A and B are shown apart, each in its own frame.
Chain A
């Protein structure tokens, strides 16, 4: 309440106040929506090729996206105050389901990640990608910023608990993403540099013990393979060798749409999910990569712009964290496919086939839109 009371009317808000548009009233950020639509249509075109020209795959992904946009639209309608109020309850509920996963979860390939209720499967860790930044932002918004030691400690506990529960599933990639989304809230809240430096030093110091005691063999293998894919050409290194080959053989121009031999001839594994960018790189070349990166960069900038213009600390922190988390998806996925980072199960956001991440990500953009429209509406 305090925040918007203090708000001074400015030119923009006057304009908007004079012509309250439909999109304003439905809390849609038009530039962001256009960019997202551009990205998802570009993604569907790539998917059509990557899935072996399967219209069924495109339709399936299209329906996930539609569902995601509906969720986004709904998420945009919820006021920030309501998010603040909901945050701790969502957190408790999320934490409970994560604990439940440990005991009664179902899974595949040695990992236990899903809960099954009445034949419907869902992945609690996915929801936590939104709930963790929400709860940390809720926690910090009530305190003096930049956060003091106690606030930092409280935040770390809030983000650490779910992260640990997800690590033991085990799903290191998601755990790191979730921890990062919480840490980004801290960062945006103005976490002092000495804490940041301290954390970096601590991380470096704990790398060796973590390597020896913390990581499972397959996780170590992924990291080792990244540094030397040729060491295991037909095993763990195969994916990386083939994805690098796909990317590199695209050159500047690319082989043309539907002309990806690496993907079409099945050399490229996971070509329509985590490794889809290799298909794009092969078919559209570096041009296509630059175009994709341009769209991503614009989305990120729009996210930051929304954060800067948010009226509450909660809104700013949420916007910053959501934007940075989106960036981490992009960075980790593009990095791992190009052999810069170890292979972890992170999809290329809004392009890789898969329903869960699309819905979560678009729900996040819904929150971002809620922040955006609230900041400019002047009154709620």
Chain B
């Protein structure tokens, strides 16, 4: 019970309490005022900042990657399409501990070092709340595993995306090129906005050359998503613009014929239409499965391709540089006629060898080894082409000199890129005194002119260049820029042409006659081709000594002899009266032109059998 003395002090106590209450009320008011000031600062002063922050929380701008354009052959055969594929991605902001999450995922499905490496690179560049891809091409099983474990994997998402697919893999590998994951270096060069949401970019070939057209335009959507990254609704959407489809001038059947004819040999075939410059077939063997590159090829697969002695990644058709050998002779003949140094009737004595005046060195004709003598006592142009007479062209070369030779051969496209619409083309070498001075800092020696006359020595050309030059011959001087793409979204691509090569009709006829004789003549170097032929073909054989085109190849002792065999070459066009196809062919280490010429027959037969008229 309350003690008595309490009574005495109650007045005092009441007063104390009163004053304390006033102090307490003051304190409470001041502190609540302080809180109110804080809320005022947040809600009024900081309103814009926090509202923006809250909107950014709520609304995410998601890129909608465009669908890549499809690629067809000239008849509508699908060469490159897009297929749905499932991608595992992570939203860094939703993942509490990245290392833990990654190791948990690794326990569920295989994730390669390379995947991880790419992932870590991208994580550092992402926008807030952007999903970063970790594993591509999930299998059905892996998707099921992820779905089952979803509850303990916050921030992990499985998304469907379209992936490039090449139905014919190796067959069109060098003609089409391929796409691959965007690399660190490419990020700098690409438009960041446009490639937001796109994981792939054309790496080589048509896929790279026409990247802008194939890619399309990125779209966007604003989505409302919750703190766990789940999209609740789409607020607005700007649809992406699908990339344009390409129709290539390639014909699947011609391509297939060339590919099959090459078989497992190393080589290249380019077939084109002389009047339009359309490429009908572009094959380089061995090829490779381009689908491997789409998802980021594994180191193992890549090393295997890179280190292969057969350099499958090397596009022989446009990057290969080979001595044209005797295939240069029709063009040399044209140079002789153009220069006026020879006429169709003028002849050269052929003892089987040739010497420069005042020099005892004998430049031998290939026939000498076989017959022990020349082709004939006197050789004219038609015979020189048909029988591939070296002496005739040794003499012509000497009289032309190397620089005029270059001058007359240059209009056929030698020594410079053809300008084909794909990547990595090389222009070969058309030697001249100036070229040698510039490239080797050496004077030109007269003897070098002699071998240049039969396409040996410094001169180098790609199979594409040979086909283009043959096409110019076939069209009697029409110089079309070769191209792979015929139409974009069905709209034909205008042809581009260079100034035609003007020459009198009888000049062309003389060369045509010589080239007809190569195939159809009694002593033609490719007369085996005429067997069972239903049309007239003009051709020219060639053999090139091996220099070795494989930069990285380490020559294996056992392979040396095989790889030192001559390259076989062949150029041809048909039908002679109205050519619709010209081809350039090389078979590496084929031994001679007979390795190459039957391929031309296969390719041209195929084309003429399907080509209307």
A residues near B (Cβ < 8 Å) are: 1-3, 6, 84, 141-142, 144-146, 187-190, 234, 242, 244-252, 261-262, 264-267, 281-282, 285-286, 289-290, 293, 296-297, 300-301, 304, 307-308, 312-314, 316-317, 320, 323-324, 327, 330-331, 334-335, 338-340
Known pairs A267-B226, A327-B28. 11 more at Cβ < 8 A?
A: A1-B2, A3-B10, A190-B17, A245-B53, A248-B46, A249-B51, A261-B58, A262-B58, A264-B226, A313-B13, A340-B34
Q: Does B7 contact A (CB under 8 A)?
A: yes
Q: Which residues of A sit under 8 angstroms from B46, Cβ to Cβ?
A: 248
Report B-chain residues with C-beta under 8 Å of the C-beta of A146: 16
Segment of B19-27, B113-121, B212-220 engaged in the interface with chain A:
B19-27
Asked whether, in the complex, the Cβ of B226 is within 8 Å of the Cβ of A251, the reply is: no
Q: Which of B10, B51, B228 contacts A266 (CB 8 A)?
A: B228
A249 touches B53 (CB 8 A): yes
Interface hit among B37-45, B473-481, B482-490: B37-45
Whether A2 and B2, one on each chain, are in contact in the complex, defined by CB atoms closer than 8 angstroms, is yes
Please determine whether A331 and B32 come into contact, CB atoms closer than 8 angstroms.
Answer: yes
Given contacts A145-B12, A313-B10, contact A335 B17 (CB under 8 A): no
B543 to chain A, nearest CB (A): 70
Interface pair A187/B20, CB less than 8 Å apart: yes
A262 touches B44 (CB 8 A): no
In the complex, the answer to whether A297 meets B32 with C-beta atoms within 8 Å is yes
Are B50 and A308 closer than 8 Å at their CB atoms? no
Contact partners of B10 in chain A: CB under 8 A:
2-3, 6, 313
Known: A304-B24, A324-B24. A285 touches B43 (CB 8 A): yes
Q: Are B6 and A313 in contact (CB under 8 A)?
A: yes
Are A289 and B2 in contact (CB-based, < 8 A)?
A: no
Residues of B within 8 A of A1 (CB): 1-2
**Chain B residues within 8 Å of A2, by CB:** 2, 4, 6-7, 10
Q: Is the CB of B227 within 8 A of A296?
A: no
Question: If the complex has contacts A289-B36, A331-B32, A335-B35, are A262 and B17 also in contact, measured as CB distance less than 8 A?
Answer: no
Q: Mark B155-184, 1 if CB is under 8 A from A, else 0.
A: 000000000000000000000000000000
A251–chain B nearest beta-carbon distance, Å: 4
Q: Is B560 an interface residue (CB 8 A)?
A: no
| Alpha-carbon separation in the docked complex, A142 to B40 (Å) | 46
* Complex contacts, B51 vs chain A, CB 8 Å: 248-249, 251
Interface centre among B1, B7, B24 (most CB of A within 10 A): B24
Query: B225 to chain A: which residues have CB within 8 Å?
Result: 265
Given contacts A251-B43, A267-B227, A327-B28, whether A320 and B20 have CB atoms under 8 Å apart is yes
Asked if B39 and A320 sit within 8 Å, CB to CB, the answer is: no
Q: Are A261 and B13 in contact (CB under 8 A)?
A: no
State whether the Cβ of B495 lies closer than 8 Å to any Cβ in chain A. Answer: no
Cross-chain contact A188 with B227 (CB below 8 angstroms): no
Q: Which listed residue, A84, A281, A313, touches B39 by the CB 8 Å rule?
A: A281
Q: For A307, what are the chain B residues with a Cβ–Cβ distance below 8 Å?
A: 17, 21
Given contacts A251-B51, A335-B35, contact A145 B13 (CB under 8 A): yes
Chain B residues closer than 8 Å to A262, beta-carbon distance: 54, 57-58
B29 to chain A, nearest CB (A): 8
Q: A248 touching B53 by the CB < 8 A rule?
A: yes
Q: Does B532 contact A (CB under 8 A)?
A: no
Q: What residues of B have a CB within 8 angstroms of the CB of A282 in the complex?
A: 54
Q: Does the CB pair B6–A289 fall under 8 Å?
A: no
B50 touches A249 (CB 8 A): yes
B3 within 8 A of A: yes
- Bound form: Cα–Cα A259–B80 in Å: 48
- Cα separation A182 to B224 with both chains bound (whole Å): 49
- For residue B18, CB closer than 8 A to chain A, the reply is yes
| Residues A290 and B21 in contact, CB atoms below 8 Å apart | no
Residues on A with beta carbons closer than 8 Å to the beta carbon of B448: none
Which B residues lie within 8 Å of A267 (CB)? 54, 57-58, 226-227
Instruction: Give Cα A306–Cα B240 distance, bound, in whole angstroms.
Output: 70
Instruction: Please give the distance in Å from B234's CB to the nearest CB on chain A.
Output: 15
A-B contact pairs, 19 of them (CB 8 A): A1-B1, A142-B2, A144-B9, A187-B20, A188-B21, A190-B16, A247-B39, A247-B50, A248-B47, A249-B50, A249-B54, A262-B57, A266-B228, A281-B39, A285-B43, A313-B6, A316-B13, A334-B39, A340-B35
- State the CA gap A327–B40 with chains docked (Å): 20
| B577 contacts chain A at the CB level, 8 A cutoff | no
Proximity bits, B515-546, A CB within 8 Å = 1, else 0: 00000000000000000000000000000000
Contact B21 A320, beta carbon cutoff 8 Å: yes
CA gap between A1 and B6 in the complex, in Å: 11
- Are B32 and A308 touching (Cβ within 8 A)? no
Are B24 and A248 closer than 8 Å at their CB atoms?
Answer: no
* B53 and chain A: residue at smallest CB distance: A245
User: Given A248-B53, A249-B54, A251-B44 in contact, is the A265-B232 Cβ separation under 8 Å?
Assistant: yes
B91 CB to closest chain A CB (Å) equals 12
In the assembled complex, which residues on chain A have CB atoms less than 8 Å from the CB atom of B20?
Answer: 187-188, 190, 320
Contacts of A327 in B (CB 8 A): 28, 31-32
In angstroms, how far is the closest chain A Cβ from the Cβ of B62?
A: 16
Q: Which 3 residue pairs are nearest across A and B when measured between Cβ atoms?
A: A248-B50, A249-B54, A190-B16
B93 contact set on A, CB distance < 8 A: 234
**Is B5 an interface residue when CB atoms closer than 8 A count as contact?**
yes
**Bound CA–CA A308/B563 (angstroms):** 111
Closest to B5 in A: A144
| Residue of B with least CB distance to A138 | B2
Q: Shortest CB–CB separation between residue A152 and chain B, in angstroms? A: 14
Q: Which residues of B contact A293 (CB under 8 A)?
A: 32, 35-36
Q: Does B147 contact A (CB under 8 A)?
A: no
Q: Are B54 and A245 in contact (CB under 8 A)?
A: yes
Instruction: Let me know if B21 and A244 touch, CB within 8 A.
Output: no
Q: Which of A313, A330, A335 lies in contact with B38, CB distance below 8 A?
A: A335
Chain A residues with Cβ under 8 A from B9's Cβ?
144-145
Shortest C-beta distance, A308 to chain B (Å), equals 5
CA distance A286 to B224 in the complex (A): 25
Q: Please give the distance in Å from A338's CB to the nearest CB on chain B.
A: 5
A300 to B29, CA, bound (A): 10
Q: Which residues of B contact A335 (CB under 8 A)?
A: 35, 38
Which interface residue of A144, A252, A265, A338 has the most chain B CB atoms within 10 A? A265
* B31 shortest CB reach to chain A, Å: 5
| Residues A338 and B21 in contact, CB atoms below 8 Å apart | no
A188 touches B24 (CB 8 A): yes
Distance, CA A251 to CA B47, complexed state (A): 5
Shortest A144–chain B CB gap in Å is 6
Contact residues in A for B38 (Cβ distance below 8 Å): 335, 338-340
The answer to whether B21 touches A304 (Cβ under 8 A) is: yes
Q: How far is the CA of A146 from the CA of B24 in the complex (A)?
A: 16
Residue of A nearest to B232 (CB): A265
Q: Which residues of B contact A142 (CB under 8 A)?
A: 2-3, 6
Pick the contact of B35 from A265, A312, A331 — CB < 8 Å? A331
Per the bound structure, the CA–CA distance linking A281 and B28 in Å amounts to 21
- B186 in contact (CB, < 8 A): no
A213–B17 Cα distance when bound, in Å, is: 38
Asked if B50 contacts A245 (CB within 8 A), the reply is yes
Q: Is the CB of A286 within 8 A of B17?
A: no
Q: Decide: B1 and A316 in contact? CB cutoff 8 A.
A: no
* B28 & A300 in contact (Cβ 8 Å cutoff): yes
- A204 CB to nearest B CB, Å: 18
In the complex, what residues of A have CB within 8 A of residue B547's CB?
none
Residues of B within 8 A of A190 (CB): 13, 16-17, 20
**Does the CB pair B32–A265 fall under 8 Å?**
no
B49 at the A interface (CB under 8 A): yes
Instruction: Report chain A residues within 8 Å CB of B16.
Output: 145-146, 189-190
Q: In the complex, what residues of B have CB within 8 A of residue A234's CB? A: 93, 96
Report the Cα distance A282→B54, complex, angstroms: 10
A333's nearest neighbour on chain B, judged by CB, is: B35
Contacts known (A251-B51, A265-B225, A313-B17); A301 close to B43, Cβ less than 8 A: no
Bound-complex Cα distance A118 to B25 (A): 44
Known contacts A145-B16, A245-B53, A330-B32: A286-B43 contact under CB 8 Å: yes
Q: How far is the CA of A49 from the CA of B232 in the complex (A)?
A: 18
Q: Closest chain A residue to B35 by CB distance?
A: A334
